[in-house]
Amino acid sequence: MTQHAFGLTMNHSLTISGYNTRLRPVRLADAEFILHLRTMPHVLGTVGDTVPEAAEQRQWIESYFERPNDYYFIIESLQGQSWGTIGIYNFKGTSAEWGRWIIIPEIMAALPSAVMIHQLAFDVLGLTELRGEVVSNNTKVLSFHRRFGSQKVGVARHSRMIQGKWADMVQFTMSCTQWPLVYKNLHPLAEVAGGTLTMSDLK
């Protein structure tokens, strides 16, 4: 089984690796990559609207550095190749939201990155709840949340303006008490997705 290496020195320097995948803090130099990700045609409309220029993306990252309860990660290979982004933000006490989740198509990092963001939330930050919000027509990601074991708790009608339209947001939650069983079930599948185990190892 893969060991997870936690590094925690201060906000914005939190790192976790496992499943041949690492979540490391976003840096200013990631602005172009983030802009590229967020403007991919299939991404528009699935996440909040983005800024049009790298200079504005750099400003956004600078303002993010000032927000202590906001964790924004690059999903990358252990060799440092950028694959995507993911984050934890919108804290309400010991509950927070995870999202800003985008991965370059064809990279098998969905399950590894989703498992590790929950590990960070529950095992490192000590949160009691992790919330998720998905645009109601994002059927692929709605299905991912269901398969992951998150509980659907409601739909917020017309709650976010995205790409010029009011979007309905489907709301999910995972509690720290549910997480250990979910982790037990998903950890081997994340190992397979990350290439640290094969399906035949699971039999």
Separation CA 137–CA 14 (nearest Å): 32
Q: Which residues pair with 25 in a beta bridge?
A: 73
**Is the CB of 31 or the CB of 192 nearer to ligand COA?**
192
Near ligand COA by CB under 6 A: residue from 103, 116, 120, 130: 103
Contact 168, 155 (CB under 8 A): yes
Any contact of residue 171 with ligand COA (CB under 6 A)? Answer: no
Number of residues binding to ligand COA, judged by CB under 6 A:
19
How is residue 24 annotated by DSSP?
Answer: E
Residues 146-152: contacts with CB under 8 Å, at least 24 apart: 148/114, 148/174, 148/182, 148/186, 149/174, 149/178, 149/181, 149/182, 149/185, 149/186, 150/174, 151/178
> Shortest gap between Cβ of 104 and ligand COA (angstroms)?
8
Q: How many Cβ atoms are within 10 Å of 118's Cβ, its own excluded?
A: 24
**Is the CB of 101 or the CB of 122 nearer to ligand COA?**
101
Any contact of residue 193 with ligand COA (CB under 6 A)? Answer: yes
> Shortest gap between Cβ of 203 and ligand COA (angstroms)?
16
Separation CA 53–CA 38 (nearest Å): 11
Any contact of residue 98 with ligand COA (CB under 6 A)? Answer: no
Near ligand COA by CB under 6 A: residue from 26, 34, 88, 102: 102
**Is the CB of 11 or the CB of 137 nearer to ligand COA?**
137
Name which of residues 6 to 45 contact ligand COA (CB under 6 A): 42-43
Binding mask 110-149 for ligand COA (x = CB under 6 A): xx----------------------x---x-xx--x--xx-
Sign of CA dihedral 47, 51, 54, 57: negative
Near ligand COA by CB under 6 A: residue from 47, 54, 125, 176: 47
Task: Give the pair of three-digit tokens for residue 90.
Answer: 């919108």
Separation CA 149–CA 122 (nearest Å): 15
Contact residues toward ligand COA (CB under 6 A) are 42-43, 46-47, 99, 101-103, 110-111, 134, 138, 140-141, 144, 147-148, 189, 193
